[in-house]
Structure 1
């Protein structure tokens, strides 16, 4: 089991943000997390990837504990197993596309392989922009660069948060094509959090989260 979560709850003040009895994902089983704004999709993504500690519950990633681990252990597990594509690109502005990937690979693996990086940049269609900095990229180019950065460590789990929310129909489908093709080439399992029902037919499995009422 690549992802195994049990009894997850998360509260902020008197408000319950997430209440999920169980959630599991098998390796190579791509899945969607669907739901309206306020349903806890991003919170669940952040808990699964160790960026947020839940109020209660347990998360295992490829058999290793994410919850209950030290911050250093969560960082190591995330580096070893997870690639993240955030809603905001979070590329290092002072570095080129190639340098962003090299930095990510060095941090995760302690090494940088120029040939691997250039092959990945080519796979996402950015060979002609490898030496460009983030501010010089179009929105679509920036998204592809962020996907390449997430994949450069060959993660077991590739997580994307609302990757199509700002895209029109044609570009939304192109983004999903790219994510699915890139995950397949890297052997990664893809988990996408979204409220975009346009991409639902592309995934065999979807989990629908519901917005929770304010607790008293």
Structure 2
């Protein structure tokens, strides 16, 4: 479902990254562990098409995603890849519900209120949908970001430190939900993190 080979990227002469081969099929789960500064977020941004590799390629569902340009790449990403950001980006002038609807419409999909409510309820933020994101705690925003990544039923789900703000109970619940939703959508799941609590929950791990 998503495959990357020979990926290399440099921000400058001193900050260069080379990454191992990534191959994650539909319904597979992969945990990528590494310390801060090792390039985890850079790798995830390459897989999501936010960055273009200087060497190597990324394929999603047989399409060489990394070669797409501009709006074509953005549209492909919106319909095929769900992304949980390390920093949660929401529009604070509208409600959380409107933010989630916006994620659907930007992908060219119809508003699916039932799906939004169902996902939000599973992560126990259903009663927060009418609030503005600025009124939510960091942990609540993180769970809302996970809901947003799932509203378009992506083929690939990428998560950058999804449990960094969560206590042990919410950590377990969030990972369980992400894994369940990935399975339900037959999606490939890749999580990058420094959170050692997740190691026991994944059979397939890569250390950077």
What secondary structure is seen at the aligned counterpart in 2 of 1:76?
Answer: helix
Q: Higher mean Cα deviation, 120-129 or 56-65?
A: 120-129
Q: Is the 8 A contact 1:85 1:150 kept in 2?
A: yes
What secondary structure is seen at the aligned counterpart in 2 of 1:24?
Answer: strand
Taking the aligned partners of 1:131 and 1:205, their CA distance within structure 2 comes to 38
Structure 1 position 33 matched with structure 2 position 32: yes
Partner of 1:150: 149
User: Superposition RMSD on alpha carbons, in Å?
Assistant: 1.7
TM-score normalised according to structure 1 size: 0.89
Q: Higher mean Cα deviation, 140-149 or 165-174?
A: 165-174
1:16 CA drift (Å): 4.8
Partner of 1:133: 132
Q: Is the 8 A contact 1:4 1:61 kept in 2?
A: yes
User: In terms of Rg, which structure is larger?
Assistant: 1
Partner of 2:93: 94
TM-score normalised according to structure 2 size: 0.92
Partner of 2:170: 171
What secondary structure is seen at the aligned counterpart in 1 of 2:41?
Answer: helix
Partner of 2:74: 75
Q: Higher mean Cα deviation, 31-40 or 115-124?
A: 115-124
Taking the aligned partners of 1:164 and 1:148, their CA distance within structure 2 comes to 14
1:122 CA drift (Å): 2.2
Taking the aligned partners of 2:94 and 2:133, their CA distance within structure 1 comes to 8
Partner of 1:189: 188
Question: How does 1:36-55 map onto structure 2 within 5 Å?
Answer: 36-55=35-54
1:177 CA drift (Å): 2.2
- Which runs of 5 or more structure 1 residues have no equivalent in the other structure? 210-216
1:116 CA drift (Å): 2.5
Partner of 1:57: 56
What secondary structure is seen at the aligned counterpart in 2 of 1:67?
Answer: helix
Taking the aligned partners of 1:179 and 1:83, their CA distance within structure 2 comes to 11
1:75 CA drift (Å): 0.6
What secondary structure is seen at the aligned counterpart in 2 of 1:36?
Answer: coil
Say if 1:129 and 1:168 are closer, same or farther in 2 by CA, change over 3 A.
closer
Taking the aligned partners of 1:33 and 1:21, their CA distance within structure 2 comes to 11
Say if 1:115 and 1:166 are closer, same or farther in 2 by CA, change over 3 A.
closer
1:40 CA drift (Å): 1.3
C-alpha offsets along residues 3-33 of structure 1, whole Å, 9 cap, x if unaligned? 1111111112223532125221111111111
Q: Is the 8 A contact 2:19 2:43 kept in 1?
A: no
